[in-house]
Structure 1
């Protein structure tokens, strides 16, 4: 016995695929489907057949119960056709119904056989010889047309039996196309109607009735039978019969077939049909534990509409009460399954929301840590910038040339207004570059501080100094760039009155706006 608490996740990939295929066909709960698949060695075809047709019982019990079976069938047929006067109730629990098998026909056109490779190689010379001889005889027959007709007369007796295989001339089709052809021929013969034919095969109708716990009404007709036309016109197409079949409260699935077709013929043989027209009402067996289907009503031969409906009602009433209980159980099981799926779905949604909140929280913490790290790195970079700038100023101040002596004539006199508002006047050599003037302004605080200037101080490694100001002549306004060529005398002249203007970067402007 399989453990009912088996975890689906423990199944192999092939077993999960087999379980999905089985539940897609049978709509059974996976927990109940796994034991049946295990008993079927995980063969989906065998499991589906056992689900719809019932699992095989004990061979000894089956052999012992097979002897009185024909007697029960005859008694059942007699009671259901209204020939018995027994006062026993039709819903008696001792009544036993005839089992209705599930038929899956295979068309003759679909049956193929493949010759083994070794035999194909051995018979290749014979096939070639046969092909050459057949072409030769066809050529002789073309030259002498009397020979084929004579041969046909001689072999007519031997070919009669082979020609009887398909006397109806009906081409074998698949179940769905066969049902569509039957409905089309029915409408062509009897005109428009309101019968709800199921345009599918018998096996599909059988499975649908079993799945939805509905009644399957099977009607088999033979065009060669004398009573077929009157039965269809007077009984099957009667307004009361059509309304009864279409009534949703009766839960009837209507399937019909022509016994000249392979599928309908196999169904007639399986249902023990001995007289046409034939009708049978099939339903899920309420007393069975193997999900089998039983015939609760058999109607053979011409039947008036009132008697036809009466027999169908009698068959429905026999199993209506237990069938309603099974429907209620299935509805309760489906409701609990839906509730469990809704709970699982709600749990998955809640779990997904928790995961999303945890992910957002983790990302927020990572973003905060990253911003803090970047802020610390910016502060460290600013500190290094200030230290490098201070070291550069001290290094550059040591290389600034001292102011020329008063007796020296070839000098340039520059008046500088500092950003603080102080005015500084200093003389420079006439051949000194403009960068010397910029360096003096940059290192002015260092030059006038009390700390001594260290001449051996090295330049900061990897530091690229930029002047954050520019020298401008107010009248007329002219900017003297630090990288301009020429000396101070060439650019400014012997005297000059300059203003030191700070150059503000975009980043500094953003910082000022934030402040």
Structure 2
């Protein structure tokens, strides 16, 4: 028995050419009860990659094995030859490991040819088709863009650019356009509806007279009715309803209904049940049948008490509901009945509202007049303050000027010796001529100070005067001095001495001219 196991182990090693330890080989054979076939399958399942690399030497190993196991070796050799082109046995549930084979030359040629044909197909078929479609799309866009404005110019009031799911005002305008389309109505003039400032006069431009629907949201319609204490008529329909066209023809565009609405100056707001706002209004008033007409007006609740009847604040209430189709006479009778019932109270409310508006306007005018009066008083006080400030500035400037003149007159240089004198003749603005000898070492400013303090200002110096130069005062001479010929201006200069000026030394003939701005 032991010899037979050694032979089986040797056959296993020769066939599998495995490189695992001998102890693991014996354990593998013992696990399958020394069955060579099962041991080989178990080995390939446990070591698929190693068996894949060792498979190339299996045929050679089977030919060199002993003759005693020739049948088994031949069977395993045939097994390897059959599976050499397929796969190596693996564990259950795993993917087979196949040999990587290079594609043949024919396969590569076919693949290259197919790819070239596909590229040519895209180049000569798909690209021209794409370019053609783009050209057709641009042409269609140009044609449509040119035709639509022409059509809209031919029928300017027939077509309107309305955005779907827009604000409530757009929904109201869309309802009016659809209403005109429903009755076959067209405009009689070229005037634009939106240029008219009134909310309820757009129907006057149409061939078929219809109600003057408000072009606003439902909340704005309620605001108008409450602000002016007016009647408000709500109309809701569905274009798909079978009674809509009959109700419009028999009631809404009838002359009796239009006369009633316009005579009573009733505001009317309409909507289609498909629009969200009209749908909410229908749910609010529990509308069960279409078309629907409802009258709203301001009402008050009167509560009797011991001290008398107390009234609540006016609120908008639904006083009349018409649901479903009714003949025109029945509709008008019902509307007239409720109008006669609630209109007297509405008239009193309207009078109160108008009185309140007048009082409010009066208060506004009074407040405005009071504000204007305050503004005028404030401006007058500011002007007076500015005048007083200017007077104080002028008084202060005059005081400083007078102090400076007295100080400067006290500092005038006395007549010098003839050898150091510059003889200057001065003609004053009043035509008087003055001759004076100036010290040649004096500055040019000495001439200006002599004219200012001696002849142009009659300044007297008393014993009580403090002859000091005012601090922070910069005196400006209001005259200029020129030479007679050639005419040149003798500028005020605190640095240049008379002896250094050829205009005035040794002899000078000067003219004093007052500044035009003074």
Please, what TM-score do these two structures have when normalized by structure 1? 0.46
Query: Which structure would you say has the larger RCO, counting Cα contacts within 8 Å and 6 or more residues apart?
Result: 1
Please, what TM-score do these two structures have when normalized by structure 2? 0.46
Q: Which of the pair has more CA radius of gyration?
A: 2
